């Protein structure tokens, strides 16, 4: 045990140090009353009374946010208290590996990724239904226990709908790499912000690289707000076609077009688990190539184009992308053939579709 570690915190006997963060230390400790080993998260109160009050209130908020949640995929909070200049929180001791560390060891199997992130979405759905938004979903806050079970940790910047702490307007809280566009812009967030963050994790695990790439934090945040990344299959062609659609919907810039609940996200992840692997294209299969990536074809084992877009607006955006592509001339006939083969698309808004395709053809002539 570190020489600086206290022997006791509240009723808990400190056994050793587990880790250190920006605001405090986490200890392994024994709870003599219940005869169990726990993790004790602490923060050292500042001597500045204003800062002290803010830190203590935020710490208390985390305890209230996570303490009211009891779900297999969320860490359990047992107790909170104060010992001298230390505020502390006793919580479930997780024996496992952070997803962040697993990612450093190399690519993870896609079925494992889909299963783990579906569990994370289950936990977030439970929290969102009770008014708690995590706001810092990232691999370092996901623990894998027993090799297969996910636990969401660290509600340190969580926001409850009714809160004793009011975040200042324009304040940015969370880890920049996994922020949502609304976090970047300083707008109010809801559960759909966590969904975007989980979508970024899914992209990184599936494609083997993050969706955005910039050397400076400001540039990275600008990409989050404005850039559209290549689909994961452009980096990893063996991915299930449905995964591109899931990632695209989870990472929509406009949260109104994103998954509206984490439960919907979890359902699609599990559906993707049972989707057949991509088959070699047949002569009859029409594939639309955009900058080296494939849009989902209507061949066996792939989602029909009519199911690949929630509205005619999606098709219009696809046509716009094709017009700007180096392969647009090759893509246009294929797109029109696919539209002819899918009569259900007329229900999605024939006027908008025809206008979009006409604009594409004019641009290509």
- Compute the distance between CA of residue 27 and CA of residue 20 in angstroms, rounded to an integer: 9
Query: What pLDDT sits at residue 181?
Result: 96
* Lookup: tokens for 334: 């294929």
Three-state secondary structure call for residue 148: coil
Q: Is residue 161 part of a domain?
A: yes
CATH of the domain at 33: 3.30.200.20
Three-state secondary structure call for residue 143: strand
Q: Which residue has the tokens 């006027």?
A: 351
On the 0-12 / 13-18 / 19+ scale of CB atoms within 10 A, 167 is: middle
Q: Which of the residues 31, 122, 136, 194 is marked catalytic?
A: 136
Tell me, yes or no, whether 259 and 229 share the same domain: yes
Tell me, yes or no, whether 192 and 73 share the same domain: no
Beta bridge partners of 199: none
Query: What pLDDT sits at residue 127?
Result: 94
Domain end, chosen from 226, 253, 278, is at 278
DSSP H helices, 160-295, are 181-184, 191-207, 217-226, 232-235, 241-250, 262-273
Query: Do residues 137 and 177 lie in contact, with contact meaning Cβ atoms separated by under 8 Å?
Result: no
Q: How many degrees, rounded to 5, is the angle at CA 42 between CA 172 and CA 154?
A: 45
Question: What do you get for the CA distance between the two ends of the chain, in Å?
Answer: 74
Tell me, yes or no, whether 243 and 134 share the same domain: yes
For the chain, which residues score pLDDT lower than 70?
Answer: 1-3, 22-23, 45-47, 62, 156-174, 276-365
With CA atoms as reference, report the closest residue to 305 among 276, 249, 267, 343. 343
Domains held by the chain: number: 3
Query: What pLDDT sits at residue 158?
Result: 52
- Compute the distance between CA of residue 281 and CA of residue 198 in angstroms, rounded to an integer: 31
Query: What pLDDT sits at residue 47?
Result: 64
83-96 pLDDT tens trace: 887 888 899 999 99
φ, ψ of residue 336 to 5 degrees: the values are -65, -35
List the beta strands (DSSP E) in 220-335: 289-290, 293-294
Count of positions (residues) in the chain: 365
Query: What pLDDT sits at residue 81?
Result: 84
Domain that holds residue 329: 279-365
Tell me, yes or no, whether 107 and 256 share the same domain: yes
Cα of 238 vs its chain's centroid, Å: 22
Domain end, chosen from 43, 68, 92, is at 92
Query: What pLDDT sits at residue 5?
Result: 80
Domain end, chosen from 28, 59, 92, is at 92
Tell me, yes or no, whether 228 and 344 share the same domain: no
With CA atoms as reference, report the closest residue to 79 among 12, 27, 17. 12
Query: What pLDDT sits at residue 31?
Result: 96
Query: What pLDDT sits at residue 357?
Result: 46
Catalytic, 341? Answer no
H or E element at residue 117: helix 110-129
Sign, CA torsion 349/352/355/360: negative
- Compute the distance between CA of residue 258 and CA of residue 132 in angstroms, rounded to an integer: 19
pTM of the complete model beyond 0.75: no
Q: Is residue 105 part of a domain?
A: yes
């Amino acid at each position: 045990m570190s020489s600086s570690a206290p022997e006791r915190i509240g009723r808990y006997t400190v056994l050793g140090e587990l880790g250190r963060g920006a605001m405090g230390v986490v200890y392994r400790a024994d709870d003599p009353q219940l005869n169990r080993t726990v993790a004790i998260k602490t923060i050292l109160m500042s001597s500045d009374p204003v800062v002290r009050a803010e830190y203590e209130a935020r710490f208390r908020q985390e305890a209230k946010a996570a303490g009211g949640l009891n779900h297999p995929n969320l860490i359990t909070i047992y107790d909170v208290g104060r010992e001298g200049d230390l505020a502390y929180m006793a919580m479930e001791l997780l024996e496992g590996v952070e997803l962040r560390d697993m990612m450093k060891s190399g690519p993870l199997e896609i079925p494992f990724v889909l299963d783990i992130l579906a569990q994370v979405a289950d936990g977030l759905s439970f929290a969102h239904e009770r008014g708690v938004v995590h706001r810092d979903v990232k691999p370092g806050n996901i623990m894998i226990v027993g090799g297969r079970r996910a636990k969401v940790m660290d509600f340190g910047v969580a926001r409850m709908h009714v809160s004793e702490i009011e975040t200042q307007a324009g304040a940015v809280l969370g880890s920049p790499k996994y922020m949502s566009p609304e976090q970047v812009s300083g707008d109010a967030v809801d559960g759909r912000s966590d969904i975007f963050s989980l979508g970024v994790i899914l992209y990184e695990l599936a494609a083997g690289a993050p969706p955005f790439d910039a050397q400076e934090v400001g540039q990275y945040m600008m990409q989050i707000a404005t850039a559209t990344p290549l689909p994961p299959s452009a980096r990893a062609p063996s991915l299930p076609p449905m995964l591109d659609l899931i990632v695209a919907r989870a990472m929509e810039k406009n949260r109104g077009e994103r998954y509206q609940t984490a439960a919907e996200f979890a359902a699609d992840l599990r559906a993707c688990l049972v989707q057949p692997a991509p088959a070699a294209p047949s002569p009859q299969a029409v594939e639309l190539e955009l900058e080296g990536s494939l849009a989902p074809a209507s061949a066996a084992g792939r989602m029909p184009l009519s199911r690949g877009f929630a509205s005619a607006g999606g098709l219009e955006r696809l046509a716009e992308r094709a017009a700007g592509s180096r392969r647009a001339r090759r893509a246009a006939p294929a797109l029109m053939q696919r539209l002819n083969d899918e009569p259900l698309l007329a229900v999605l808004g024939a006027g908008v579709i025809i206008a979009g395709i006409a604009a594409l053809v004019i641009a290509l002539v």
